[in-house]
Amino acid sequence: MNIDRAVLAFAGIMVLVSVALAHFVSPWWLLLTAFAGLNMLQASFTGFCPAAMIFKALGCRAGEAFR
């Protein structure tokens, strides 16, 4: 798996987990969804993604978006 796919999978999991937590626990968990969306938006403009740096350190191979 390359870094791009790992970042997208991680973001998708975070969104789904936060929606489930918002439904079953507290609507405040939707802030996690907002954070994930804002992080994806800023990464698309700046190219800086903390999750990509973590996946790179874990040994994922480089993709096209995050090198």
In order, the DSSP letters of 24-58 are HT-GGGHHHHHHHHHHHHHHHHH---HHHHHHHHT
- Give the residues across from 61 on adjacent strands: 2
Boundaries of every domain in the chain? 3-57
pLDDT one-digit tens code per residue, 8-58:
999 999 999 999 999 999 999 999 999 999 999 999 999 899 999 999 999
The confidence band for 62, taking pLDDT boundaries of 50, 70 and 90, is confident
